[in-house]
């Protein structure tokens, strides 16, 4: 029904049902204006229908995806909050353990701190003490060595210079006597060799005297070389 509330006339119904467009009211049929019915493209209508059906099918899927995404975001936020809380707990625990370890180290090093504070004063007095010790020790050591040497000399009775001089003179005389003995021994050996040579020459006779003389000279020379 139209907006004015009047029913359409039969002529209007027939025009609407036939689908014929009257076109321009000033034109005539003779002029050849469009009087044919408007024909719609069936492929376009079919494509639009398919698109509408696909939209209807995809709408619930889109809503489901959006709901799942929101749920996933909420779960991820919860997991992130839990992880942050765990990290904070671990950091607090590590800080506490580190503080305890530092306190133990400080308690262990406290005595060394007091000793280190006394070290500079002790270091200043150390060179003076070493100098005094250096001057004192060698004198005491040399005195002890001299005392020990004197006691040993007294125990062996060789500490007198006169006795030492006598011992040296005696050793010199012994050396000279030994040299004289060696000389006498060499002369005796020489005389014995000459005696043997003369006896041998007499035993061999005058024929071998020449050879004997030569042999005797060789023996005498060898005897002198040995001496």
pLDDT digits (tens, 9 = 90+) for 7-54: 444 444 444 444 444 444 444 444 444 444 445 577 888 888 888 888
Which single residue is written with the structure tokens 């009047």? 6
pLDDT score at 187: 86
- Backbone φ and ψ of 205, nearest 5°: 95, 180
Buried-state track 80-97, b at ≥16 Cβ within 10 A, e below 16: eeeeeeeeeeeeeeeeee
Structural tokens at position 223? 């005897």
Of the pLDDT bands very low, low, confident and very high (cuts 50, 70, 90), residue 63 is confident
Round to whole Å and give the CA distance between 149 and 73.
Answer: 104
Q: Tell me the whole-structure pTM to 2 decimals.
A: 0.28
What are the residue boundaries of the structural domains of the chain, listed by start?
184-227
């Amino acid at each position: 029904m139209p907006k004015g509330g009047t029913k359409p006339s039969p002529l209007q119904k027939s025009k609407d049902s036939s689908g014929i467009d009257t076109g321009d009211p000033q034109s005539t049929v003779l002029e050849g204006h469009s009087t044919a019915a408007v024909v719609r493209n069936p492929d376009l209508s079919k494509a639009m229908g398919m698109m509408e059906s696909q939209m209807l099918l995809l709408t619930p899927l889109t809503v489901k995806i959006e709901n799942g995404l929101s749920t996933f975001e909420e779960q991820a936020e919860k997991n992130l909050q839990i992880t942050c809380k765990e990290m904070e707990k671990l950091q607090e625990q590590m800080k506490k353990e580190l503080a305890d370890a530092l306190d133990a180290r400080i308690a262990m090093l406290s005595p060394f701190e007091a000793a280190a504070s006394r070290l500079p004063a002790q270091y200043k007095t150390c060179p003076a003490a070493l100098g005094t010790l250096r001057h004192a020790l060698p004198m005491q050591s040399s005195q002890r060595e001299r005392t020990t040497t004197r006691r040993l000399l007294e125990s062996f009775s060789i500490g007198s210079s006169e006795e030492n001089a006598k011992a040296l003179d005696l050793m010199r005389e012994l050396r000279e006597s030994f040299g004289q003995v060696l000389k006498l021994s060499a002369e005796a050996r020489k005389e014995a060799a000459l005696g043997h040579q003369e006896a041998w020459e007499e035993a061999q006779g005058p024929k071998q005297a020449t050879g004997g003389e030569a042999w005797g000279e060789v023996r005498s020379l060898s005897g002198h070389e040995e001496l």
